[in-house]
Amino acid sequence: MDAIAVNRLKAEVKGATALFLLALWNIWKERNNRIFKASRHPTAAVVDLIQDDARLWREADNLGLGALLSANDDVP
């Protein structure tokens, strides 16, 4: 593997890790809403929140999400 491919792979791994952490964080917040506030959001709404956060992080190019997701891609 050449240096460019290695750097791209590192950026993609970093972006995937950030996306995983965003998902975990939003699931944790939903858990807290259900336990402490007796408030429930539908699963689709939680997924939408994860996608919204990922778009914001991509725009800020936080933690390599820009390398994982292009501006035209929908967030998974």
Residue ranges covered by each domain of the chain? 3-68
For 38-68, write each residue's pLDDT tens digit: 999 999 999 999 999 988 887 877 555 665 5
Is residue 12 scored above 80 in pLDDT? yes
pLDDT surpassing 90 at residue 26: yes
Of 34, 33, 65, nearest to 52 (Cα)?
65
Report whether 64 contacts 12 (CB < 8 A). yes
Q: What angle do CA 39, 45, 51 make, to 5 degrees?
A: 130
What span, in angstroms and rounded, lies between the C-alpha atoms of 4 and 25?
31
Stated pTM of the model:
0.71
